[in-house]
Amino acid sequence: METNNEINNEINQVNTMPRIGDQAPDFEAVTTKGKIKFSDFAKDKWVVMFSHPADFTPVCTTEMSGFAIRKPEFDALNTELIGLSIDSIHAHLGWVQNVRENTGVYFDFPIIADIDMKVSKLYGMLQPNESETAAVRAVFFIDPSKKIRLVMYYPLNVGRNMDEILRALEALQTSDKYKVAMPLDWKKGDKVIVGPPKTLDELNERINDDSLEKVDWYLAKKNL
């Protein structure tokens, strides 16, 4: 029989949610591409790690197919995909083959077999008020240093938006490269926001800089 401390530890583990800026928790897991150790996975690449509630389910099939169809766009952004659900490796392989036979879409990225829920609990993908046995639709954007940069959570009954996932990924990479910020609805080719001045000299320089689109001295945009 479990003690109160053991029960509390299990609850805390389930509710663990890595935050933006945290190092991505390390783990070892069996996937459809073989066994991985996450800290060694996709060296020098970004990672988009996403969970789905279950294999052989309709919404999950549309989402996983979406990731597979648009994988070349993630490849172009130096990003590795990795999925997860609380299913066995045999279920994963059967589902991958079933979708390939029925639609021609091949899930050519690793899918973690998290039957013991170890990774789901580590990443806060199990949220008991939604389900105690199925992972919610979580998305973690992880940079090459294995730092978590953005987190999205969707419930079991609402599919994700692939355009937004790719837009957010490109925004993060562009912000890192050029040290700028992204305005509402930014997409590639749009103007970016330059940081506000921090001294009077920088303020005067900003006021006199005609290359910027200035809404006001503290809000200015430019083309990259």
> Long-range contacts made by residues 22-25, C-beta under 8 angstroms, separation at least 24?
22/147, 22/148, 23/146, 23/147, 23/148, 24/49, 24/140, 24/142, 24/146, 24/147, 24/148, 25/122, 25/123
CA–CA distance, 179 with 200 (Å, rounded to integer): 21
The CA distance from 133 to 91, in Å, is 16
Residue 60 annotated as catalytic: yes
Asked if 83 and 109 touch (Cβ cutoff 8 Å), the reply is yes
Report the side by side order of strands in the sheet with 46-51. 34-37, 28-31, 111-113, 79-85, 46-51, 137-142, 148-154
Kind plus residue range of the DSSP H or E element containing 50: strand 46-51
Catalytic-labelled residue, pool 24, 48, 60, 119: 60
CA 107 to chain centre: 17
Q: Where are the alpha helices (DSSP H) in 52-199?
A: 58-69, 71-76, 89-103, 118-122, 162-178
Whose tokens are 């996937």? That residue is: 31
**Active centre residues (catalytic):** 60
